[in-house]
Amino acid sequence: MTTDLNNASDTSRFINLAYGAIGRTASTRFEPTTSSKFLFWMAERGETHQRLTLEIGNIVVARADDGSDLTFGTVVEMRSYSDVDSFIADYLSHNFGDADIQVPTDISEVVVVTCNVMRNLSGETRPLGRSQAFFPSRLGIEFSYGIVDERGESLYLGAPIPIGIFENGDGTIAPISVDENFVVGPEGAHLNVSGISGLASKTSAVQFILKSLQAHTRKRIAIVMFNVKSRDLLYIDRANPRLATEQWSQRAYEAIGVPMSPFAAPRFFAPQNPSVPAATLSLRTQNVEAFSWDLTMIRDSIPNMFDAMDWDDKMEGLWYTIREQIERRNIVAYTQMLTFIEQTVQNVPQGNMWALNHHVATWQKMRARLQGLPRTFRGLIRTAGQGRDLPWNDLQSGSVFVIDIQMLQDKGKKLVFGRAMSEIDAMMESEDKNLDAVVVFVDELNKYAPSGNVRTPIKHTLIDITARGRGRGVVLFGAEQFASTVDREVIENSSTYLFGRTESNELRHPNYTTFSDEVKTKLTTLPQGQLLARFAKFAQPIFLKFPFPPCLPGDQYQPPGEA
Amino acid sequence: MSSSYRQSLTLARRFVVEQGGEIAPLSVSEEELNPDVQQDEATKAYPIEATTSPIKVQYAYPQDSLCSEFRFFEDGRQRTIQIAHIPTEYGSHLLMVPVHYFVVSAVILERVGRQLQLWGEPMIRKGVMVARSLIPNQEILAQIEAAGLLVEDTESKTVGSNDYYDLRRRALRRAKSLRLQYEQELISQWRESKESEDAFLVVDGTLMNMRDEKNVARCVGISKSFGSRYFDVTTHNRIMRLQEFERSWAFRFHADTSEDDPRLGVRERVSWYLRLRQGINVDPEFGLVRVEISKDYADNVGEFANRFSRSLLSDRLPTSYPAPRWDKHLYPIRECENYLGSIMAGISTITASMCG
């Protein structure tokens, strides 16, 4: 079925006719309509001249007077004009500067709205002619973003994954979905969310989207979340009590078909507490599985655990000597490795400064650094006995792992995250994998993939995964305060990008140049629960609302006895 | 360009071409070339109140700044542009018959609260003006009229010649006549409407041109330019020296006997001057308007003059700056002009359509 453009009842499916026209497009000598932009003046409503509830980010549809087309646009700028030529004119109108004066006739004012063209029904790229502007219907909204075709049927090859609710100026709400194939591969992948901290928006949004992904995906997907601060993700197995009373959120969950329940059967992991082996380094006390790595598990990671300044050619050469001993199973435990170094140094004959072709000073430096690693990476390195790695092979469709690393120092966090990404990547490369994708969510992404020329192993891994991971199902959901602090390649490889409230300084960064000044202004004051979403298949970004997360936010957790 | 303009301009062009005329639009309107033709004022006045001193209007600023009783405002506009000429043989002479495209319009704005909005339907007419009998092919003229082109005759039926210049001047006068006619129609509609009960209509310019006394009785005319001195120099100087919030004595434009009035009472109006605002280093007429009302109010003219002056002082704000004569141009009247300007085809549209 194709839409008959000359049939008013046919095109009316895309328009909220009940609300009425909200303005008329105009193309002037100095501000012409183009194929990518149109302008309309905003109508007033009723005898009270009530202003419409139109705002930046709303979607409008322009219906050509000759019925030749419907053009959808998003509001990127609103300017209020009066017929006052200058400030001096207004000054005179107030009796030469009397600010208290009331005048019997209000100065004529008009609000001119600039819209970026998103899509049109004819599919032709051309400036629109004289048109009436309306709010679109829900079908119109979904059509404008290329989510559905004229019949309202999905245009996505993958499952539509709702990521939020769009609420237009007339109150029409529409769930906004992204294409699963662009979220977890293979066409595109990765999601990034930025915004200032303290609004609980980023984590809440990601939790909601992950729940939505679980509910709507047609693929076999597992989720791995890293809890990097406080109790953020430690209670995702508990229901969010606010949802019981918050009606908008309840309606939102219902509208988008996502169960309003916490994550089912997640497993929690944390480094083993070296002081109390039965406990973990986690703020969550129950049902947390410990992990720690013995020497055989982390031998490949040890070079990355050193400061870059300490790791030179001599140290690297010596490490190969030690590593050979480990591979030959002459050394199996961390303390054994330290003992081996100690003995090697002690056995050097007096007057000789070399042992196994390495200078004694290098040996001593290696010993000192290796002795310090268990403290730096507290809880991660098991110096004696057998370690217990994270059970990556247990991941299956529907699995949710939460790895609590918030008690670790930055180096420890990087080690855990880097190892996890490498392990998952390796697992997803194997041919007998039982998953289509593993989604890894980590906050404070800037710590792992900072912008600039800093080259670290973990950053290299992340760039590689975001560039090529979509093909093998390794998907990164990252969050950070400022997108400018994250490596450009990691950001640009994300098919879905969410912006929360953002500081004006940050908005000067090239990442935001595509946004109009007014969209940027709105971003600086964006309320909690709203984000600006940019998706690879959307012609324009969209302001979305999302409901309260389905699970208990960590900061609202009250330990037993304190409730 | 709206479809009705497109049709009208297309027909006008077709008319000229099919009559063997030459398309040669001027880039200025006749109104711009001959602004004086629109003036129409009386020459003599007779005081009703004492002329010895100005009268202070009871208007307290700023407390009274919202006291205007006026809710309705009217203005009309005309645009007459020579678009072509048709050479035609007249006896042994070759005449150049000018063809004008005209647009005349009138509107009433109503103030609801503090917002202006359209009252009723604005009047707008457009078409061509030409000396009908001089058109070579009458059959084509009839066809084009039947197709929807309004054709107004500029030929003199009584006195005057039909040369090129006379026909041009007559086109301008005919446009004015049409504008006044449509303004009168609109004002009559307003007067007979329920909404207008007990209300007065503020009209831009003199009421001298109004022939319907029922309409005049409900209108307040505001003249911004004055070309005549009605009193002796000393008395007239009192008008020129009026202070802000002062009005002149009321006067009428003909004597009690009709012997002095060559137009037999059609200009019989009651009037007074009012100083809306004052400035430094400004001309003597800065902020000075002349107000006209019907002769029906002559008996208690002082009461009406004070009442309407008070409202006009309230309506002096907001100003229409930087419009020409902004010092005396009421803002709602300027909005009438702006509205009419927006619905009338511009000169560039008209001339470009002819060339196209």
User: CB of B188 within 8 Å of any CB in chain A?
Assistant: no
Whether the predicted pLDDT of B346 surpasses 90: no
Nearest to B18 by CA among B81, B80, B84: B84
pLDDT attached to residue A323: 94
Tell me which residue in A85, A100, A107 faces B318 most closely, judged by beta carbons: A107
Spatial distance between the Cα atoms of A70 and A141, rounded to a whole number of angstroms: 12
The predicted model gives B41-59 an average pLDDT of 87
Please enumerate in sequence order all residues whose Cβ is within 8 A of that of B40, keeping only pairs 6 or more positions apart, or say none: B206, B208, B209
Mean pLDDT across B183-201: 95
Is residue B75 within 8 A of residue B331, CB to CB? The reply is no
* Residue B291, SS3 per DSSP: strand
Cβ proximity of B284 and B243 under 8 Å? no
pLDDT (average), residues B129-142 = 92
Cα A100 to Cα B182: distance, rounded to the nearest angstrom: 41
Question: Helix A360-376 vs helix A313-327: angle between axes, to the nearest 10 degrees?
Answer: 70
Listed range (A167-181, A248-262, B154-168, B239-253) with the worst mean pLDDT:
B154-168
Query: Tokens 């150049």 belong to which residue?
Result: B96
pLDDT at A463 over 50: yes
At A495-554, the pLDDT tens digits run 999 999 999 999 998 888 888 898 999 999 998 889 999 998 898 899 999 999 999 988
Contact A108 B335 (CB under 8 A): yes
Chosen from A45, A98, A105, A110 to mutate, greatest number of chain B CBs within 10 A: A105
In this structure, are residues B197 and B218 in contact, taking their beta carbons and an 8 Å threshold? no
Residue A173 near residue A202 (C-beta atoms within 8 A)? no
Please, which residues have CB within 8 angstroms of residue A436's CB and are 6 or more apart in sequence?
A184, A185, A219, A220, A221, A473
Measured CA to CA, the distance from residue A347 to residue A368 in angstroms comes to 17
- pLDDT (tens digit, 9 = 90+) per residue, A273-317? 988 988 999 999 889 999 999 999 999 889 989 988 899 999 999
Rounded distance between C-alpha atoms, residue B316 and residue A251, angstroms: 54
- Tokens representing residue B48 in the block: 């009703």
d(CA A269, CA A388) in angstroms, rounded, equals 11
**Three-state SS at A57:** coil
Q: Which two tokens stand for residue A528?
A: 């909690």
d(CA B193, CA B187): 10
Give dist(CA B183, CA B290) in Å, integer.
Answer: 20
Q: Within A153-246, where are the H helices?
A: 180-183, 201-216
Average pLDDT rounded to a whole number, residues A120-128: 91
B90 touching chain A per CB within 8 A: no
Instruction: Check whether A1 has a pLDDT greater than 60.
Output: no
pLDDT digits over A50-72, tens only? 667 899 999 999 999 988 899 99
DSSP label at A108?
P
CA distance linking residue A161 with residue A496, whole number of Å: 12
Residues contacting residue A216 through CB under 8 Å, at least 6 positions apart:
A159, A160, A161, A162, A177, A180, A257, A258
- Per-residue pLDDT, averaged over A33-51, amounts to 82
Buried b (16+ CB within 10 A) or exposed e, A124-158: eeeebbebbbbbbbbbbbbbbbbbbeeeeeeebeb
* Contacts by residues B190-197 (CB-CB < 8 Å, ≥ 24 positions apart): B190/B72, B190/B74, B190/B108, B190/B119, B190/B120, B191/B215, B191/B218, B193/B120, B195/B110, B195/B119, B196/B72
| Amino acid B166: pLDDT | 86
CA–CA separation, B52 vs A455, rounded Å?
96
Residue of B nearest to A50 (CA): B115
Residue A39 has pLDDT above 90, yes or no: yes
Residue with tokens 């030690």: A322
Residue of B nearest to A129 (CA): B1
**What are the helix (H) ranges across A4-108?**
8-11, 87-93
pLDDT > 70: what percent of chain A? 96
pLDDT over 90, % of chain A: 69
pLDDT digits (tens, 9 = 90+) for A239-259: 999 999 999 999 999 999 999
Q: What does the pLDDT look like over A405-445, one tens digit per residue? A: 999 999 899 999 989 998 999 999 987 889 999 999 999 99
Q: How far apart are CA B137 and CA B192, in angstroms?
A: 43
Q: How far does the CA of residue A59 sit from the closest CA of chain B (Å)?
A: 27
Is the Cα dihedral A388, A389, A393, A398 positive or negative? positive
Contact B68/A at CB under 8 A: yes
Beta bridge mates, B123: B106
**B115 touches A: beta carbon within 8 Å:** yes
pLDDT for the residue A103: 84
Contact B115 A98 (CB under 8 A): no
Q: For residue A265, what pLDDT is reported?
A: 93
Please state the length of chain B.
356
Confidence of residue A91 (pLDDT cuts 50, 70, 90): confident
Please indicate whether, in this complex, the C-beta atoms of B317 and A83 are within 8 angstroms of each other. no
- Average predicted confidence (pLDDT) for chain B: 89
Label residue A6 by pLDDT band (50, 70, 90). Answer: low
Residue B150 host element (H or E): strand B150-153
Q: How far is the alpha carbon of A65 from chain B, nearest alpha carbon, in Å? A: 11
pLDDT of residue B259: 53
CB A473 within 8 A of CB A428: yes
CB contact under 8 A, A95 and B62: yes
Please give the residue that has the higher pLDDT: either A156 or A45. Answer: A156
The yes-or-no verdict on residue B270 having pLDDT over 80 is yes
What span, in angstroms and rounded, lies between the C-alpha atoms of A249 and B182?
60
CB contact under 8 A, B66 and A106: no
How far apart are alpha carbons A223 and A266 in whole angstroms?
A: 9
Cα distance between residue B351 and residue A462, in whole Å: 66
- For residue B265, the model assigns a pLDDT of 55
Query: Which residues of chain B make contact with A106, given a CB cutoff of 8 A?
Result: 114-116
Q: Report whether pLDDT(A559) > 90.
A: no
Give the count of beta carbons closer than 10 Å to the beta carbon of residue A525: 8
Condensed to tens digits (0 to 9), the pLDDT of residues A18-28 reads: 999 999 999 98
Angle B197-B200-B201 from CA coordinates, rounded to 5°:
115
Residue type (1 letter), B331: Y
Nearest to A464 by CA among A449, A442, A452: A449
pLDDT of A197 above 80: no
The beta-carbon neighbor of A47 closest among B61, B68, B112 is B112
Q: Cβ neighbours of residue A424 under 8 Å, at least 6 residues apart?
A: A224, A392, A395, A438, A440, A474
Q: Which residues of A touch B335 (CB under 8 A)?
A: 83, 105, 108
Contact indicator for B293, B219 with CB cutoff of 8 Å: yes
Identify whether the C-beta of residue B146 lies closer than 8 Å to the C-beta of residue B154: no
At B146 the pLDDT is 96
Residue B38: pLDDT band with limits 50, 70, 90: very low
Q: Which residues of B touch A102 (CB under 8 A)?
A: 62, 65-66
CA A274 to the chain's CA centroid: 34
The pLDDT, as a whole number, for residue A356 is 92
Closest by CA position to A150, among listed A73, A70, A216, A75: A70
Report d(CA A226, CA A270) in Å as an integer.
10
Enumerate the residues of chain A whose CB falls inside 8 A of the CB of residue B66.
102-104
pLDDT of residue A548: 92
The residue in chain B having the minimum alpha-carbon distance to the alpha carbon of residue A92 is: B319
Specify whether the CB–CB gap between A225 and A362 falls below 8 A. no
If pLDDT is split at 50, 70 and 90, which confidence band does A49 have? low
**Position B160 pLDDT exceeds 70:** no
Cα–Cα distance for residue pair A281/A290, rounded to 1 Å:
8
Summarize the confidence of residues A222-236 as an average pLDDT: 94
Tell whether B338 is within 8 A of chain A (Cβ): yes
Cα A33 to Cα A24: distance, rounded to the nearest angstrom: 12
Beta bridge partners of residue B131, listed in sequence order: none
Q: What is the mean pLDDT of residues A72-89?
A: 90
What is the pLDDT at residue B35? 67
